[in-house]
Amino acid sequence: MVRSLHHAVRETWRRPKDALPYDYRRDRMAQWRRDPVINRIEKPTRLDAARRLGYKAKQGVVMVRTRIRRGGLRKSKINMKRKPSKAGMLKITMAKSTQRLAEERVARKFPNLEVLNSYWVGEDGKNKFFEVILLDPSHPVIQADKQLGWVADRRHTGRVHRGKTSAGRRGRGLRKKGKGAEKIRPSLRANQNRGK
């Protein structure tokens, strides 16, 4: 049975540490660290993930690789009287994931483009690397595209800052359904801020 190219790429990226040689991954990360923080690229590194999230190799579609710090948050020590268990220094997570922050920074760098989606491409000791798919809503090729033309509508302006991408919807809890998700919709601020 002949497997497709996309299937082979997807299997490789499912467990990159096992499928890709260590030297190759190390040298690639070293090169990415030398690149600018927000770096425009010609084509996606993970073609299967990019196609799955809406990428097309045509005019008006822009690919950007970005890096962002990794790791959790840590609050400073509280010197007032308090139970040690309530000090709350470790295991603190942000309201937004690092992937959402990376998407928003890219969107600010390219104000005339809209973020379609993003995906993980690697991480080292200090950084996580994401590739972001951007669309030009004013480009005639995008406007004429059946699958991507919706982005030209003005109501989709600034969609990444409103949590409308895949990572944004995950952070808003919209992947959940049924029991336990009653307070999430229509938004996290509805239902007396009980969404999270």
Residue 181's pLDDT is 83
Amino acid letter for position 172: R
Gyration radius of the chain over CA positions: 20
CA distance 48 to 120: 12
Amino acid letter for position 29: M
**What are the mean pLDDT values of the chain's consecutive 10-residue runs (196 residues total)?**
70 81 87 95 92 94 95 74 75 84 96 95 92 96 94 93 92 85 83 78
3-state DSSP call for residue 12?
helix
Residue 134's pLDDT is 96
Domain ranges of the chain: 5-139
Residue bearing tokens 């959790």: 72
Residue 1's pLDDT is 44
Residue 38's pLDDT is 96
Which CATH class, in words, describes the domain spanning 5-139? alpha beta
Residue 3's pLDDT is 63
32 phi and psi, to 5 degrees? -65, -35
Residue bearing tokens 């690789």: 65
Residue 26's pLDDT is 87
Residue 119's pLDDT is 95
Residue 57's pLDDT is 94
